[in-house]
Amino acid sequence: MSHIFHPYTSFSTIQNDELPNITRGEGIYLYDDKGNRFVDVVSSWWACALGHNHPVVVKAIKEQADILQHSITGGMTHPNVIKLAENLSLLMPSPDRHVVFASDGASSVEAALKIAVQYWHNIGRSEKKYLIGMDQGYHGDSLGALGVGFVDTFHEPYSQIITNIAKLPFPSPTDNDPHGFEPSRSIIIEHASVLAAVILEPLCLGSAGMKMYSPGYLQQLAECCKEHDVLLIIDEIAMGFGRTGKRFAHNHANIDPDLVCVGKALTAGYMPLSACIVKDKIYNTFSNLGEKDCTFYHGNTYAGHPIGSAAALAALSIYESEKTIEKTSEKALLIKELMGPIEQLTCVKETRFLGMIGVVELHPEYSDDMPIIKRKLRESGYLFRPLGTVLYLMPPLITTNEELTEIINALIDCLKEHLNSN
């Protein structure tokens, strides 16, 4: 047994199963030290949008490593980070923005939360200091992120040290409330006088089991936040850069968030790098030129890392040159079509779809079968990571139609064979 403290991995998995020792990647495939080939069905925790070993990204990393390996963004810049900040700003609905960089999703979220609170402090409204997110939302595992995104299954040991004034309920549409927003509206209005910001994952709560809601909810939320003077933070770390069929998930709702967090696919998963993209109306209050010092005293050693920035610039260029987003929309239709027969299996409670995300939720009574299903799929050459009784496809965006067909057929065959489902 190795000395690794594995995150999100039960002891029974380590003790009773042989963990793959991955030695290389190529395209949508990972290879272990025994020569076994696996399809990376979950894009290595939703990050590797361009698969593995993309020559353009690898070349950019190698070339940058020969020039400049590390430089901080605290009072300094370098060409890559200047260009990357500009590019990210121009991708937003309104481009007048500044970008604070970080190293991973949680650190990007931490920056966003602190910026939101300090913004109100900067303009003399320190009472607006509270932050809320959606029930069972996920924004990282740091304590600040847990305060606005608490998945009970994962985070119960920390419940005594996490406090919040409220949570937005997951939308439950009705005839009178087709997007299920009205309960959230009531909560925002109730706390608006002390509320700094609302944060949520757009359209899909990933770690809660890929729970999906409508763009209409997001649109109403943005309008409500604007009306009641509350900042809106959109966490695009998992959904950004084409996963949903548009560049960002919030584009489906045609909204203009105050702060947007990105990561994972920002570098196609090749380097640790994330960012929080901030409207200038907020950024401009962080000045020390007035009566008080409003400097943002928050940072990250690897924020805007030169090699990470090079990888990000390469990834962004590929998304455009290879028309990745346009192709994602086409593949989304194929995924939904191919997964149609799954709905007929007796073990299946529900299927859900959003861009290149396909979700199969089994009935609760099959929870004990999930480790077996996961192992059987891996033995067939497919790396899944179920969430409870939820099996989901979130493969690299470069996955071909033929490869998608093989993945989905393998999943159907496995469910039929090992759950005796028909």
Active-site annotation, residues: 8, 138, 235, 264
End-to-end CA distance of the chain: 39
CA distances from 319 to 124, 322, 327, 354 (A): 42, 6, 10, 19
CA 225/CA 131 separation, integer angstroms: 12
CA 238/CA 419 separation, integer angstroms: 30
Amino acid letter, 248? F
CA 112/CA 107 separation, integer angstroms: 9
Pairing status of strand 130-132 against strand 204-205 = unpaired
Which alpha helices (H) appear in 162-264, and where do they start and end? 182-191, 215-227
Mapped onto helix, strand or coil, the DSSP state of residue 140 is: coil
Residue 155 host element (H or E): helix 152-155
CA distances from 180 to 16, 190, 203, 235, 350 (A): 43, 17, 13, 20, 19
Evaluate whether 270 touches 263 at the Cβ level (below 8 Å).
Answer: no
Evaluate whether 197 touches 157 at the Cβ level (below 8 Å).
Answer: no
User: Residues near 176 by Cβ (< 8 Å), separated by ≥ 6?
Assistant: 182
